[in-house]
A and B are shown apart, each in its own frame.
Chain A
């Protein structure tokens, strides 16, 4: 039994079975699929940031370039693609904001604020930010 308690020994104990983890381990459980889906929203966020920069560049390159860019954006498949991108980004936002209370534990005096207050505050911030951005983007037109 002395051998079994030695942590240096157990990883290599030949008789003990360690199961091999399949490459697509994350397809086995719904919770894992949701996790990987959530993680895979990050390339779409990066894409959105990149395209935004490209749009700014097109804007700075003159009206002709910009109108060419805009007509590209208006194409059917492009809009469909961006609708899909939007869905991924919404998934990111919702999962991210829902988990905020886990990282941020707030206290009012001595009492700990319940999780839903942190969550609601984050969603309120999301709404405020979106409203402000919308106003900037279309209100000043």
Chain B
């Protein structure tokens, strides 16, 4: 709206008065018609990062739930707040310039599970994320976090991932025999 990625459902008219108001479809996605964009690309990329709890050993339901302390929840809570609104994809110039870029929300959601104490799927996600079209396409413009209506901070998620990927890489260089 007026060139800024916003949730129109959460924007009060009085904040954009006096008019005129310009409403456009989300940039970065092909426009099917009027204001409808095709978000298939985002959905496909989201699936790639395994956005679910991955366990090597599933516990039997009779053993009860996987317990988690409030501190453990706090680790990933902000990343779990993502509502898949894709404002971050619209704000990200890299996504529009390089459509192969996996994008802020997908990476933030990957981190949501990486930092979840119940998850064991970090390795598989790293294979997908530490690619030229993954985190390495990101140049830390930071607009994704600025426009996020839920304060998910995908930019932070991505930078932390870069640090982690680099640390993993160095470890595998120095100790290739170590289990990843």
Contact = CB atoms under 8 A, between A and B. Distances in A.
Interface of A: 4-7, 10-11, 13, 16-19, 21, 25-26, 28-29, 31-32, 35, 39, 99, 102-105, 110-112
Given A29-B143, A103-B159, 5 more contacts: A18-B30, A31-B142, A35-B139, A39-B139, A111-B71
Given A7-B40, A10-B41, A17 B30 contact: yes
Interface in B64-117: 71, 74-75, 93, 96-97, 99
Interface of B: 3, 27, 30-32, 38, 40-41, 44, 71, 74-75, 93, 96-97, 99, 139-143, 146, 153, 155-156, 159-160, 162-163
Contacts of B160: 102-103, 105
B20 to A, nearest CB: 19
A20 B139 CA distance: 21
B31 to A, nearest CB: 4
A57 to B, nearest CB: 34
Among A5, A13, A28, A102, which residue has the most Cβ atoms of chain B within 10 A? Answer: A102
A13 B32 CA distance: 9
Nearest to A115: B156
Contacts of B30: 10-11, 13, 16-18
Contact of B44 (A7, A104, A105): A7
24 contacts: A4-B40, A7-B40, A10-B40, A11-B41, A11-B99, A13-B30, A13-B38, A16-B30, A17-B30, A18-B31, A21-B97, A25-B96, A25-B97, A29-B143, A32-B143, A35-B141, A39-B139, A99-B159, A102-B155, A102-B156, A103-B160, A103-B162, A105-B156, A110-B71
B144 to A, nearest CB: 11
Contacts of A29: 3, 143
A9 B60 CA distance: 42
A13 B30 CA distance: 9
A74 B2 CA distance: 50
B44 A31 contact: no
B143 to A, nearest CB: 5
